[in-house]
């Protein structure tokens, strides 16, 4: 069979976007842009500046902040594997953990073999330009290389000799090697970010933002990644628009202003059916006591609960309050409520937040069952739902997290923030009839002849400079076909350029909606288009 025949039979694979991810396409993307533009505008009026952290970070950052025991970290993170690097981690681990008592010099040779392989891999990684290896820690690398050379010299000079001095030198060289390899900065596990609060806090610490006037107000937008079961409004790559207020005080007016900002944003977008739920989940003082009380009460009714809730009595009783199980609702209604068990400071703070919201004309519903399962969340917690989203109807979640920056190695810092699910926000806008703007053209240039083409290119350039959207067909077509094409693209006008127009210096502009046409000089044309655009908008 000839090669050609083989090729014919092989059908190339048709690729599809990976499950839980999707393409955002025009014209929908214009709606995304306009939502994002509105966020930029509103957040700026509240004094927030944009931060763009990387989309991947050290896995440990998320493990520490979001929490090892959460679904997000334990099941849903995309951790980035890398064959070579994994291998290097493994080698280093073997060196550090080398447990064999050196019985004779053959053990030392094995050990040296490991060191040499590690050095070779690092050298290769350098050559392959793997970015983590840009800065391996040059001093540690030099120490490791020289200790390996000393070890090699020692082995060849004294094979099998076991005098105490040689032996001691061998042991101290092994220690030197372990220490140096431990100091190598060969990068670490990375994960795609499942959320951005941890990154913002990391950045606040890394850039010493506590030196800036406090609080520091930052917002972000971009993709997040969680390996969740995809369904309507739930994706594995989804987008969040969020903001964080870090440092300064925990004045209730800060909580209220952050919430006011989100509500103003939703209001500007004319999001329908917006409902703000509010709660306080106490602090390190009062919450553990409440959790114990809740656990004790839950144990009394354990038999009536489903398996998930039964498990949560032990792991995280607050999560039982989240339950949507019909059969559990009656029981949950009788459980103790956190609002009745807040310490004095938290109760005062919560009352003041509510007062501050009322002052700002922000309507809310108190929802004592609104909890966040993560340890670092405290006091103010809120969630916003919108219409048209089915079961996944939360468009925004937020709360106070005063302990987080400290947990990540920074100074004690107050913090509050929120994250809006942009996919759901846009879905809700669409469900309520807000369609994305069609990607129309202002002008379609129908040209015929080489001279007209040159004029058409110039006209396109000038019109685009003036801000009009212009379609310039790359090859000549008959005017009838060109006008049909203009119609299909939803162009408002067709600019007709043939030999006559070029020699007269008068260009024909046809308005496609009513078929009317008139002739204009080049400068009059732009003026006319400006007027008709401002009339129609
Ligand atoms: P969280 O970071 O879990 O508090 O989520 C904040 C908001 O992000 C939620 O209210 C949702 O609107 C949105 N969100 C969270 N997970 C997803 C997902 N898998 N797909 C789409 N949106 C999500």
Q: Which domains does the chain have, with CATH numbers?
A: 28-76+191-286+342-431 (3.30.930.10), 83-183 (no CATH), 443-536 (3.40.50.800)
Q: Which two tokens stand for residue 412?
A: 């004690």
Q: Is 421 in the pocket of ligand 1 (CB under 6 A)?
A: yes
Give the tens place of pLDDT for each residue, 340-395: 999 999 999 999 999 999 999 999 999 999 987 566 789 999 999 999 888 888 99
Residue closest via CA to ligand 1's atom 1 equals 397
For residue 442, pLDDT beyond 90: yes
pTM above 0.75, yes or no: yes
Which atom of ligand 1 is nearest to 228's Cα? 19
Residue 227 Cα to ligand 1 middle (Å) = 12
| C-alpha–C-alpha distance, residues 129 and 74, integer Å | 31
Q: Which two tokens stand for residue 113?
A: 């073999």
Predicted local confidence at residue 85, as pLDDT:
65
For the segment 193-209, the average pLDDT, to the nearest whole number, is: 97
Residue 396 Cα to ligand 1 middle (Å) = 7
Predicted local confidence at residue 1, as pLDDT:
47
Three-state secondary structure call for residue 4: helix
For the segment 306-316, the average pLDDT, to the nearest whole number, is: 88
| C-alpha–C-alpha distance, residues 199 and 258, integer Å | 19
Average pLDDT value for the chain = 89
Burial class (CB in 10 A: 0-12, 13-18, 19+), 392: middle
Three-state secondary structure call for residue 485: helix
| C-alpha–C-alpha distance, residues 407 and 269, integer Å | 36
Maximum alpha-carbon separation in the chain: 106
Mutate to test the pocket of ligand 1, among 72, 229, 238 (most ligand atoms within 8 A of CB): 238
| C-alpha–C-alpha distance, residues 153 and 157, integer Å | 6
Predicted local confidence at residue 55, as pLDDT:
97
Give the tens place of pLDDT for each residue, 4-60: 555 566 788 899 999 999 999 999 999 999 999 999 999 999 999 999 999 999 888
| C-alpha–C-alpha distance, residues 371 and 281, integer Å | 7
DSSP per residue over 320-373, as a string? GGG---GGGHHHHHTS--GGGG--HHHHHHHHHHHHHHHHTT---EE-TT----
Q: Is 195 in the pocket of ligand 1 (CB under 6 A)?
A: yes
Q: Is 234 in the pocket of ligand 1 (CB under 6 A)?
A: yes
Q: Is 397 in the pocket of ligand 1 (CB under 6 A)?
A: yes
| C-alpha–C-alpha distance, residues 357 and 380, integer Å | 12
Give the tens place of pLDDT for each residue, 98-132: 655 566 667 778 888 888 888 887 777 767 765 55
Give the bridge partners for 418, in sequence order: 243, 398
Instruction: For CA atoms 353, 359, 360, 361, give the dihedral sign.
Output: positive
- The more confidently predicted of residues 534 and 247 is 247
Point out the least confidently predicted range of 82-86, 264-268, 418-422, 440-444.
Answer: 82-86
Three-state secondary structure call for residue 218: strand
Mutate to test the pocket of ligand 1, among 239, 390, 397, 425 (most ligand atoms within 8 A of CB): 397
Q: Is 396 in the pocket of ligand 1 (CB under 6 A)?
A: yes
Burial class (CB in 10 A: 0-12, 13-18, 19+), 329: exposed
Residue closest via CA to ligand 1's atom 18 equals 234
Which atom of ligand 1 is nearest to 424's Cα? 12
Residue 75 Cα to ligand 1 middle (Å) = 16
Predicted local confidence at residue 175, as pLDDT:
84
Q: Is 395 in the pocket of ligand 1 (CB under 6 A)?
A: yes
Predicted confidence band of residue 173 (pLDDT cuts 50, 70, 90) = confident
| Bridge pairing between strands 275-280 and 378-385 | antiparallel
Q: Is 143 in the pocket of ligand 1 (CB under 6 A)?
A: no
Predicted local confidence at residue 187, as pLDDT:
61
Residue closest via CA to ligand 1's atom 17 equals 234
């Amino acid at each position: 069979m000839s090669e050609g025949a083989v090729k014919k039979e092989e059908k190339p694979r048709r690729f599809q976007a990976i499950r839980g991810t999707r393409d955002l396409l025009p014209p929908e993307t214009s709606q995304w842009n306009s939502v994002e533009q509105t966020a930029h505008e509103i957040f700026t009026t509240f004094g927030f500046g944009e931060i763009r952290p990387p989309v991947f970070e050290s896995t440990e950052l998320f493990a520490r902040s979001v929490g090892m025991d959460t679904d997000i970290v334990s099941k849903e993170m995309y951790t980035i594997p890398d064959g070579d690097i994994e291998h290097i981690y493994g080698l280093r681990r073997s060196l550090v953990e080398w447990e064999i008592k050196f019985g004779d010099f053959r053990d030392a040779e094995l050990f040296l073999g490991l060191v040499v392989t590690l050095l070779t891999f690092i050298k290769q990684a350098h050559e392959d330009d793997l970015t983590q290896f840009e800065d391996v820690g040059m001093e540690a690398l030099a120490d490791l290389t020289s200790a390996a050379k000393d070890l090699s010299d020692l082995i060849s000079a004294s094979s099998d000799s076991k005098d105490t001095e040689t032996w001691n030198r061998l042991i101290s060289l092994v220690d030197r090697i372990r220490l140096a390899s431990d100091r190598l900065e060969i990068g670490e596990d990375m994960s795609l970010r499942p959320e951005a609060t941890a990154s913002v806090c990391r950045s606040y610490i890394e850039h010493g933002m506590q030196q800036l006037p406090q609080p520091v107000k930052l917002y972000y937008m971009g993709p997040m990644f969680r390996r969740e079961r995809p369904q309507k409004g739930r994706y594995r790559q989804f987008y969040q628009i969020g903001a964080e207020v870090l440092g300064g005080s925990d004045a209730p007016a800060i909580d209220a202003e952050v919430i006011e900002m989100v509500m103003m944003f939703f209001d500007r977008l004319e999001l329908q059916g917006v409902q703000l739920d509010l709660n306080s989940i106490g602090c390190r003082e009062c919450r553990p006591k409440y959790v114990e009380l809740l656990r004790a009460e839950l144990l009394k009714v354990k038999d009536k609960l489903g398996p998930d809730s039964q498990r949560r009595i032990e792991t995280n009783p607050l999560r039982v309050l989240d339950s949507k199980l019909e059969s559990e609702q009656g029981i949950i209604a009788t459980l103790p409520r956190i609002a009745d068990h807040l310490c004095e400071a938290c109760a005062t703070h919560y009352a003041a937040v509510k007062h501050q919201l009322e002052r700002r004309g922000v309507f809310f519903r108190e929802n004592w069952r609104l909890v966040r399962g993560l340890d670092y969340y405290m006091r103010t917690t809120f969630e916003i739902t919108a219409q048209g989203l089915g079961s996944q109807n939360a468009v925004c979640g937020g709360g106070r997290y005063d302990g987080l920056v400290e947990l990540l190695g920074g100074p004690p810092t107050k913090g509050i923030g929120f994250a809006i699910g942009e996919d759901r926000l846009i879905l809700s806008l669409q469900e309520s009839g807000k369609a994305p703007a069609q990607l129309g053209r202002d002008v379609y240039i129908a040209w015929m002849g080489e001279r007209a083409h040159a004029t058409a290119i110039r006209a396109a350039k000038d019109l685009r400079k003036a801000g009009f959207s212009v379609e310039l067909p790359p090859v000549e077509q008959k005017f009838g076909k060109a006008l049909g094409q203009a119609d299909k693209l939803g162009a408002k006008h067709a600019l007709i350029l043939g030999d006559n127009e070029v020699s007269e210096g008068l260009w024909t502009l046809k308005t496609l909606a009513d078929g009317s046409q008139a002739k204009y000089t080049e400068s009059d044309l732009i003026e006319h288009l400006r007027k008709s655009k401002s009339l129609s908008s």
